[in-house]
Structure 1
């Protein structure tokens, strides 16, 4: 069992432990653990399928997804922000994808410190196949929910997102 699977198992166990004595725990904690468990279950399965079918990782997939939507490419710093990871993490991923011919780097002529990356035609076609498979996997994993249930859940999770933002973003409608 790898580290991620052990963490997932721990989250599932934590949620199960709460179910044994729900009155001992606040509903907010139970909800958070349920969200975390669902997210981890989906992420673990997507990681496994990406590895088995495409011999790639979720971070590589995520980076390529950011570039897939941008014909002109993205500055490295902006890419780090979008992916919510350090510049160093992005730089390492970019280097490997450049070596594989999936993306290319362009150094700005006016500012040599500014580097823009974008997909090559080969990278674009490779990623399109992965993105289609990814969409199918997500549809399969959420397939037991009706369209109506998915829509209601999407709206309710929007409420959760708003609640978290309100609690954490001072000066922007938050409570802090």
Structure 2
């Protein structure tokens, strides 16, 4: 096995272990972890996003994301607004209830992430951020 394959396998194993751990925590309320991720991604943006922009930030297919957004709209957590730059398009943003829900879940989830990554030193956390940033940058090419 090449070094790249070993590193990839290690990355995927760490991801799987952490995601199982986070998913098992009692912080999600009425949401799934994936639904929370959509709320989180929308909360990070200063302006409403097109569906295609949101899709670049979540691990869902376009059809699955569309169905999930429909459910989040029906639950009053996400709203659609017209795209002023393209009358055919819509933009997505959090409703006040969606923002409150994201914050309520986000605080304990952030503490869980901090606990899970506490096995790393500050230097290792910096290295991890650089390495994963480089890998994420590859998808832009």
Give the TM-score normalised by structure 1: 0.67
Q: Do the aligned partners of residues 118 and 147 (structure 1) sit closer, same or farther apart at CA in structure 2, a change above 3 Å counting?
A: same
Structure 1 position 149 matched with structure 2 position 106: no
Q: Do the aligned partners of residues 29 and 96 (structure 1) sit closer, same or farther apart at CA in structure 2, a change above 3 Å counting?
A: same
Secondary structure of the residue aligned to 2:31 is coil
Deviations 1:62-87 (A, max 9, x none): 11112112343111222123325333
- Rounded Cα–Cα distance in structure 1 between residues aligned with 2:120 and 2:22: 18
User: Which structure 1 segments of 5+ residues have no match?
Assistant: 1-24
User: Which structure 2 segments of 5+ residues have no match?
Assistant: none
Partner residue, 2:62: 87
Partner residue, 2:105: 130
Partner residue, 1:26: 2
- Rounded Cα–Cα distance in structure 2 between residues aligned with 1:110 and 1:139: 40
Secondary structure of the residue aligned to 2:76 is coil
Partner residue, 1:39: 15
Q: Give 4+ residue runs of structure 1 displaced > 6 Å after superposition.
A: none
Residue of 93, 101, 107 corresponding to 2:76: 101
**Which one scores higher on RCO, CA 8 angstroms, separation ≥ 6?**
2
- Rounded Cα–Cα distance in structure 1 between residues aligned with 2:133 and 2:45: 29
- Rounded Cα–Cα distance in structure 2 between residues aligned with 1:70 and 1:152: 25
Larger radius of gyration: 1
Structure 1 position 161 matched with structure 2 position 135: yes
Q: Do the aligned partners of residues 38 and 74 (structure 1) sit closer, same or farther apart at CA in structure 2, a change above 3 Å counting?
A: same
Structure 1 residue 120 displacement after superposition? 0.8
After superposition, the CA RMSD in angstroms is: 2.7
Give the TM-score normalised by structure 2: 0.81
Q: Do the aligned partners of residues 104 and 159 (structure 1) sit closer, same or farther apart at CA in structure 2, a change above 3 Å counting?
A: closer
Partner residue, 2:37: 62
